[in-house]
A and B are shown apart, each in its own frame.
Chain A
């Protein structure tokens, strides 16, 4: 099936540091989304991207839809302890149904 390669798998950072994670694929996507999941909770939508090249911010979070439509990145600036969690990229494939394909996640740990 279609695969999203999400990296890094995990990150350990100090409070205040910036964070960057990304997703790549060999397939073309129409939509990229970034989610955060806390233990025992469902994923929560952070940012949605709908156009190639689009750069969108949500507070300290910034995400971009790659020009090739095969990749996306998420940046978190000035991390705080509550940023801890698992971040997932997800995308809707070009020519596919409206289902989302998810990456395997990036586990973020922030040390105070």
Chain B
């Protein structure tokens, strides 16, 4: 497709489980971002990739969160030992080179019971 694609759109899991969220950026975009959005709040930065490498992971809340982008295109956000406080919408965005506007996907809504 032409836009940023995220799967799954909804994920319900139990506390303590492992979760993977996938992002397929716009073709040709070298920069990829993950954000987390809680109800009534603006998106909160998690991590930013330029190509295959994480250029800035300062927003990852703790070591339960990890993201990869092995081939410089698709990225996976991994959350271990999920907690109820991890419940949020996880947004992925891509940018042509990190210097232009970010284009967001529709998000993956994570609910931890």
Contacts and interface: CB of A to CB of B under 8 A. Distances in A.
Interface in A61-112: 88, 90, 97-105
B59 interface: yes
Contact of A42 (B4, B55, B56, B98): B4
B67 interface: no
B91 A104 contact: no
B99 A104 contact: no
Interface residues on A, range: 20 to 34
A99 B48 contact: yes
B100 A48 contact: yes
Contacts of A44: 104
A33 interface: yes
B56 A104 contact: no
Contacts of A42: 4, 91, 93, 104-107
A6 B40 CA distance: 13
A45 B40 CA distance: 19
B45 interface: yes
A51 B36 CA distance: 28
A98 B42 contact: no
A1 B91 CA distance: 20
Contact of B99 (A41, A88, A98): A98
Interface residues on B, range: 20 to 34
Contact of B31 (A33, A40, A98, A102): A98
A35 B4 CA distance: 16
Interface in B49-92: 50, 55-56, 58-59, 91
A43 interface: yes
Nearest to A105: B42
Contacts of B31: 98
Contact of B98 (A35, A88, A98, A103): A98
A98 B45 CA distance: 11
A45 B33 CA distance: 15
